[in-house]
Structure 1
C-alpha cells in the first residue's frame, strides 16, 4: 500500500487578500467594535443635548438684536455636527491602533513575512480605515438626524435632510473624520507606538488649536496659521457658520489633502526604510 503526499499549493499574495486578512483581524478585536459604538453614541448624544438645550432656551428667551436665529436650518444643522470633534478623535485613535498594533504586539514580523511588500500592507490598512471611518460617520450622521428630527420639531427648529447645511455636515463631516483616521494611521506607522501615536493625535487636534487660539490674542498673524490646522480645515468645511474661514473651498480641500497625504507618504517611506 503506497501513500500519496499531495504537493502543497503555493498561493499568490494579492492586495485583495491582504485587505481581507486585515479586515478579519481588525474586526475580531473587541476594541474596534467598542470604539465604533462609542463614536456613534457620543455623536448622537452630544447632538441631542445640543438640540434640546438650544431649543429649550430659544423657546423661552425673547428674540435679541444681534443674536442669530437659533431655530434656523443653518444653526440647527450645525448642532447635529457638534459631536464631530469627538468622532475625529475616536476614529483617529482607531487609525493609530490599526498600524501601531503591528509593532506593539510583535505581529509585524508575521505580517510582513506573509506579505513582504510593506507598502501593500499599508495601502490595505489605509483603504480599510478610510471605508470604515467614512461609513461610521455617515451612518452616525443619518441616525443623529433621525433621532433629533422629532426633538427639533417639538421646539419649532427647522431641519431639512436635503438642505445644503445638513449635507455639509453629512459629507464634509465624513471627510474630516477620514482625514483624522488617516493621520492616525500615518502616526502609527511613523512612531510605531500606540501611546505615542494617540498622544500626538490628541496634541494635533485638541492641544495645538488651544495654544494657537491663545496666541491669536498676542499676534493677529497667528489667525492666518490657525485656519490651516487640520481640525480647523475639517470643521470649517462641515460647520462653516461655527468655524468661519477666509479660505475658498478648493483651498480647504487642498489643505485636507495635504494633511492626509504628507504624513502617509512619510509613514510609507519610514515603513519601507526601517527594519521591523
Structure 2
C-alpha cells in the first residue's frame, strides 16, 4: 500500500505577508493588549489629574498670576501641554511594547521558525518596524484625543482655554505621537540588540528616567553639560510637542533631526547585528 505524498507548492514570501503574520501574532499576545490599554489609561488619568490639580490651584491662587514663577492659566500653550502630561509614561510603556515585539521571539525560541519561514531577516525587522510605528501612532493619537474629550469639561469648569483646533494642541497631538514613536523604535532596536526582554526594558527605562535625573545633577556641577543634555532623548523627543515643559534653544529642524537620530541609529545597529549573528 503506497502512502500518498502531499505536494508542497512554494509560495513567494513578501513584506506584506510577513507584516500580516506579524500583526496577527502580535495581537494574539495578552501583553500587547494590556500594554495598549495601560498606555491609554495612564495618559488620560495623568492629564485629567493634572487639570484638576491645576484648576484647584488656580482658584486658590486667584489674583497672584503676576507673581514670578506663577503659571499662566490663561495661556493656551500651557493648558494644551497638560493634555500631553502623560506622554513621558507613554514613551516607556509603548517603548516596552517595542522591546517585546522582537525579544520575545528569542526568549521563546520562535525566532527559528520565523526566520525559516522568512529567511531574509531584514524583511522581518522591516515588518516589525512598520507595525510598531503604525500601532504606536494610532494608540498615542487616539489616547490624546480621548484625553482631550475628558479634560475639556474640567478646563471649562476652571475657565482654562483648551481649543482642539488651536496650534498648541495640534502640536501636542502630532509631535507627541512622533516622540512616542521614537521611543517605540528605540525599544525595538534594544530588543533586537540584546535579545532579552528584561534587559531591553531596563535599558529603555534607564535612558528615559534614570539618565534625566543624573543629567540634572551633572548640570549643577558641570556647566557645559547643558549643551549635551538638550540632545538627550527625553528632551529632544518631547521638546517639539511640549516646548514650555522642555524649553530649549534648539530650532524645530534640529529637534526633528535629533528624534530621527535616536530612532534610526540604534535600529540600524540592531539590523546589522540581526543579520550577522546566529539565531
TM-score by length of 1: 0.97
Q: CA deviation at 1:88?
A: 0.2
In the alignment, which residue of structure 2 is the partner of 1:259?
A: 262
Q: Secondary structure at the match of 1:228?
A: coil
Deviations 1:29-71 (A, max 9, x none): 0110000000000000000000000011102212322223123
Which structure 2 residue ranges, 5 or more long, are not aligned?
Answer: none
Deviations 1:104-143 (A, max 9, x none): 1100100000000000000000000000000000000000
In the alignment, which residue of structure 1 is the partner of 2:40?
A: 40
In the alignment, which residue of structure 2 is the partner of 1:52?
A: 52
TM-score by length of 2: 0.96
Which structure 1 residue ranges, 5 or more long, are not aligned?
Answer: none
Cα distance, 1:6–1:194 mapped onto 2, change above 3 Å: closer
In the alignment, which residue of structure 2 is the partner of 1:156?
A: 159
Deviations 1:213-255 (A, max 9, x none): 1110001111111110011001211100111011001000001
Please say if 1:182 is aligned against 2:185: yes
4+ residue runs over 4 A deviation = 2-6
Q: How many aligned residue pairs are there?
A: 275
Q: Secondary structure at the match of 1:238?
A: coil
Give me the CA root mean square deviation: 1.3
Cα distance in structure 2, aligned partners of 1:35 and 1:234: 21
Cα distance in structure 1, aligned partners of 2:71 and 2:141: 28
Cα distance in structure 2, aligned partners of 1:205 and 1:194: 17
In the alignment, which residue of structure 2 is the partner of 1:130?
A: 133
Deviations 1:79-104 (A, max 9, x none): 11110000000000000000111101
Please say if 1:232 is aligned against 2:232: no
